[in-house]
Amino acid sequence: MMSNTFCPIPWIFQAVRANGDIRVCCQANVTPNKGVLRKQDGLAYNAGFDSLDDSRNSELMRAMRLNMLNNQWSQECGRCLTEESNGLHSRRTEELKQWDYTLEQAIADTDQDGNINTELVPVRHYDIRFGNFCNLKCRMCGPTDSSAWYEDWIKLTGSNTFKDSSGNITIENTSKGLHAKEFDWPNYEPFWQQLEQNADTIEHVYFAGGEPMLIERHYDFLEYCVQNDYAKNISVEYNTNMSTLPSRVKKLWEWFKSVKIGASIDGMEKVFEYQRHPAKWPKTLKNLQTLDNMSGNVRSWLAFTVTAYTVDHMIDFMKWKLTESGFKKINSTRGKPIITHHVAHHPKHLNIRVLPNEEKARLTERFNDFLTWIEENNFEKHVVEHAYRIVNGVCKYMNSESYYNDHWQEFCSYTKKLDTMRNESIAEVCPNLEKYMI
């Protein structure tokens, strides 16, 4: 039996959104349902008050398993389908490389109705977003992903509510500042007890946020794994903005099988600070240099989010990475020796497809010039091949569809408002876009 849609995720994986809703995986966030697993009454399974195990045989999970076994794409898998169709690496292809869970095993483990025995097929990989507690308010994010966004959201929209996968969320003005209680779920102790009870089957746990380095309870979980001798079998992975690198976590990491750090770095200097306000490049660079010099079990990469703000700068950043950064370990694998990029699909007004056609043509030419530069500088074969994959994927995706008519005015309005609120200027950061602003 063959399946070009099979992915191990619906069998051995579990994911939690920033608001605690349990979902298929983060890639499904671009779908209307956000990939959220729901009960028969339509309410979401939530890590703040539901059993993690109960959600594994929800209606959506069963349907996705059957679709994959029948070589069909589920709506929740649309992002992977789009990326693969445009020559980009998808989450599905990466999971197939990482896990030894095969299509044949999935067939054997799955009942005719899509159910699995959750005791016999344990969760091996967790993806946990620890609420939205964060110290940055990145332009492609919002209050669902960062508590630092609350004040700007109210100013930007004139409203103290925002929509999330479980309905409208109200930002409350409390004695401790602006607050949304729905994102307090990481304080729910039974969740951590469930995670610790499953620690003997965990092989990989992915932490994000918000900003995971700011979540104190997760350090207790790491210590539990170390004290009970589970750490040696577990790979921990982070998506972190690298604004902080506590000494406590560096000591704990030494005990784990491996540590993988996806550093959310979208360039350098003023472009980085513009997209990830109020981050400071000198401090971030210092933390990156510390990370680059850490022990052998730590591997890290630059997770570059490609938006309309950063796509032009991306070329200069890749050159800097290759010739000036001095990094010895960051993005040092043969598969991804330059950067580890992903295009921001949402919000659509920041997607690179929103750019004017004339600007797309200029960028396409710049990317091709970058490939010429790569060839002329005699980089190793795997670096050259990676450069071609990056350029071909980004340019094909950017030019395959236009969001200009529907979303360019929104891009301009959004950008101008944030520039005024944050005392920033797109003319200084993205000068080639200034003439198109309306």
- pLDDT computed for residue 68 by the predictor: 97
- pLDDT computed for residue 33 by the predictor: 87
β 172-174/167-170 pair status: unpaired
Q: Would you tell me the crossing angle of helices 150-157 and 404-422 to the nearest 10 degrees? A: 120
Measured at the CA of 289, the angle between CA 283 and CA 295, to 5 degrees, comes to 135
Residue 112 in 3-state DSSP?
coil
- pLDDT computed for residue 257 by the predictor: 97
Helix, strand, coil percentages, rounded to 5, for the chain: 45, 15, 40
Structure tokens at 283: 């401090």
Q: How far apart are CA 128 and CA 239, in angstroms?
A: 10
β 125-129/161-164 pair status: unpaired
Q: How far apart are CA 35 and CA 48, in angstroms?
A: 18
- pLDDT computed for residue 31 by the predictor: 85
User: What are the pLDDT tens digits along the chain (438 aa)?
Assistant: 678 999 999 999 999 999 999 999 988 888 888 899 999 999 999 999 999 999 999 999 999 999 999 999 999 999 999 888 888 889 999 999 989 999 999 999 999 999 999 999 999 999 999 899 999 999 999 999 999 999 999 999 999 999 987 789 999 999 989 999 999 999 999 999 999 999 999 999 999 989 999 999 999 999 999 999 999 999 999 999 999 999 899 999 999 999 999 999 999 999 999 999 999 999 999 999 999 999 889 999 999 999 999 999 999 999 999 999 999 999 999 999 999 999 999 999 999 999 999 999 999 999 999 999 999 999 999 999 999 999 999 999 999 999 999 999 999 999 999 999 999 999 999 999 999 999
- pLDDT computed for residue 3 by the predictor: 87
Residue whose tokens read 């292809």? 93
Say if residues 249 and 221 touch (Cβ distance below 8 Å): no
- pLDDT computed for residue 314 by the predictor: 98
- pLDDT computed for residue 144 by the predictor: 92
Concatenated DSSP letters for 256-316?
Answer: SSEEEEEE---SSHHHHHHHTTT--HHHHHHHHHHHHTS-TTEEEEEEEEE-TTTTTHHHH
Say if residues 303 and 342 touch (Cβ distance below 8 Å): yes
CA 198: distance to chain centroid?
24
Q: How much is the CA Rg of the chain, to the nearest whole Å?
A: 22
- pLDDT computed for residue 29 by the predictor: 82
